[in-house]
């Protein structure tokens, strides 16, 4: 409503003073009348008064009432009153402008990209960089769950509490929650760089909100177990030796880095090892101990992949054989075909006892012990920045400097005639196999 005046109409003798009042036109249902262009239509009236003073008083009263009941094109109708009452019953703690802003944030007038497609774009760009296959796979898995819950949301509609609730719902394990939080942080950091959001709601969430991570003791292979393990591989499957010493004596990661590790990436002439696919991207390892090159000289392949064919079952086989103390018993089992051998109860029990990430953790433990410093070890492990990750996740305790020196003095001891599985013919020979008391003997060396 707009009121102006007082004005005087000289043609009027009884009530010459008037005001001009403009109001919004209303339909019968109380809604605002709009013209063809969508603009609000108004009506104009001229109330007359006997004196100028009466007109001025009426003007002041109209303006005062207008300030109380509304401004602009809004009119306080019965429908508006009912709408206000319903809205306040739903969210009495906030004002209606906050409610309106929240609605507009989640229902924008212009087209915006939702979380689902943005995650796809983020993963595509991340994968095109130096991210390892394992890291990219982890991101896809964790952000996939984020998309399942929030795929239809817009990026600027999140708050910190929502992120914490999501992360805590993913798992009961604090370390797993931390990994999910890291994935979401990386995604929102990317959106900040792309100017899709002004800030990262996942940044700065303390670990105490996700649960304390227990400090478990790092399990690694003892010195005598390492040597026995290597001698076992030499005796029963020497083609695996190069693959294992790259982890045990050079600290290379077992999964993503070893899967496509090639012989050409080990360069004795420069005493360096190239890691092309890794968690931290391509890198070069230097400062390896002399015994690594002794092992590589004997067992390193000339070309192709370092990981031999059928690696999984073959590795299971040597792990089982390495935990058998009697060489005679181990020799008998070694001659069995791999599948039947791995189905035996003692084989299943032996595999359960193998420590997780044992080779990299074993290397780290003995390397730190020998050098009495974590800095050099961190460079070889490619832990950027602080050595805290090394101490918290890879270094076991209780190893002396002398034991560390002995570890890196272990050298090859070639077996001339390794004991390999004896293939079994199909048919009647196979059916009679359980009746055999022991496999045919092979004599090593």
**pLDDT one-digit tens code per residue, 391-440:** 777 888 889 999 999 999 999 999 999 999 988 766 554 555 455 444 45
CA distance 315 to 350: 12
- 240-299 pLDDT, tens digit each: 999 999 999 998 988 778 888 999 999 999 999 998 765 666 788 888 999 999 999 999
Count of other CB atoms within 10 angstroms of residue 162: 15
* Per-residue exposure over 364-395, b if at least 16 CB sit within 10 Å of its own CB, e if not: bbbbbbbbeebeebbebbbbeeebeebbeebb
* Distance of alpha carbon 47 from alpha carbon 56, whole angstroms: 12
Distances (CA, A) of 311 to 183, 335, 338: 31, 17, 12
Tokens of 220: 């690694």
Indicate yes or no: pTM above 0.85.
no
Residue 445 has pLDDT above 60, yes or no: no
| Each residue's pLDDT tens digit, 202-245 | 999 998 999 887 777 788 999 999 999 999 999 999 999 999 99
Instruction: Pick the closest to residue 314 from 331, 339, 283 (CA basis).
Output: 339
Residues 273 and 363: their CA atoms lie apart, in Å, by: 16
Question: Residue for token digits 């006892």?
Answer: 353
Confidence of residue 109 (pLDDT cuts 50, 70, 90): low
| pLDDT for res 386 | 64
CB of 255 closer than 8 Å to CB of 434: no
Q: Measured between alpha carbons, how far is 104 from 249 in angstroms, rounded to an integer?
A: 59
d(CA 291, CA 301): 17
Per-residue CA distances from 318 to 172, 245, 292, 297, 311 (Å): 35, 14, 20, 22, 11
What is the spatial distance between Cα 393 and Cα 379, in angstroms, rounded to a whole number? 15
The more confident residue out of 133 and 361 is 361
| Higher per-residue pLDDT: 439 or 120 | 120
Name the phi and psi angles at 274, rounded to 5: -95, 130
Q: How far apart are CA 374 and CA 396, in angstroms?
A: 12
The percent of residues above 90 in pLDDT, for the chain, comes to: 46
Nearest to 232 by CA among 322, 332, 353: 322
**29 has a pLDDT exceeding 70:** no
Average model confidence (pLDDT) across the chain: 85
Quote the percentage of the chain above a pLDDT of 70. 87
Q: How far apart are the first and last CA of the chain?
A: 106
- pLDDT(44) > 90: no
Residues 6+ apart with CB under 8 A from 443: 417
């Amino acid at each position: 409503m707009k009121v102006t005046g007082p004005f005087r109409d000289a043609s009027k003798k009884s009530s010459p003073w008037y005001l001009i009042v403009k109001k919004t036109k209303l339909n019968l249902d109380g809604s605002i009348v709009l013209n063809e262009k969508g603009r609000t239509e108004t009506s104009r009236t001229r109330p007359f008064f006997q004196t100028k003073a009466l007109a001025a008083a009426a003007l002041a009263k109209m303006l005062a009432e207008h300030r109380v009941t509304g401004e602009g094109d809004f009119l306080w109708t019965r429908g508006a009153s009912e709408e206000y009452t319903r809205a306040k019953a739903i969210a009495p703690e906030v004002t209606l402008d906050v409610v309106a802003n929240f609605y507009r944030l989640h229902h924008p007038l212009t087209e915006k990209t939702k979380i689902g497609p943005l995650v796809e774009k983020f993963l595509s760009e991340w994968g095109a960089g130096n991210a390892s296959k394992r890291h990219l796979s982890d991101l896809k898995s964790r952000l996939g769950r984020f998309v399942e819950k929030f795929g239809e949301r817009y990026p600027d509609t999140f708050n910190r509490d929502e992120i914490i609730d999501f992360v805590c719902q993913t798992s009961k394990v604090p370390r797993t929650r931390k990994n999910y939080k890291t994935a979401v942080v990386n995604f929102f950091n990317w959106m900040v760089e792309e100017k899709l959001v002004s800030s990262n709601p996942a940044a700065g969430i303390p670990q105490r909100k996700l649960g304390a991570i227990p400090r478990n003791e790092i399990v690694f292979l003892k010195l005598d177990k390492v040597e026995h393990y290597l001698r076992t591989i030499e005796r029963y499957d020497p083609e695996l030796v190069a693959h294992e010493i790259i982890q045990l004596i050079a600290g290379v990661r077992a999964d993503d880095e070893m899967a496509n590790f090639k012989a050409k990436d080990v360069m004795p002439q420069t005493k360096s090892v190239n890691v092309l696919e890794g968690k931290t991207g391509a890198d070069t390892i230097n400062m390896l101990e002399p015994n690594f090159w002794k092992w590589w000289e004997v067992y390193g392949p000339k070309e192709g992949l370092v990981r031999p064919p059928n690696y999984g079952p073959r590795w299971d086989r040597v792990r089982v054989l390495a935990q058998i103390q009697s060489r005679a018993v181990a020799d008998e089992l070694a001659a069995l075909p791999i599948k039947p051998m791995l189905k035996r109860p003692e084989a299943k029990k032996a595999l359960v006892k193998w420590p997780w990430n044992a080779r990299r953790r074993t290397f780290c433990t003995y390397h730190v012990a020998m050098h009495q410093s974590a800095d050099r070890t961190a460079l070889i492990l490619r832990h950027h920045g602080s050595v805290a990750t090394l101490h918290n996740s890879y270094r076991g305790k209780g190893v002396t400097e002398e034991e560390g020196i002995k570890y890196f003095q272990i050298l090859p001891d070639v077996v001339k005639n390794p004991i390999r599985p004896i293939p079994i013919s199909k048919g009647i020979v196979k059916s009679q196999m359980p009746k055999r008391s022991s496999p045919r003997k092979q004599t090593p060396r």
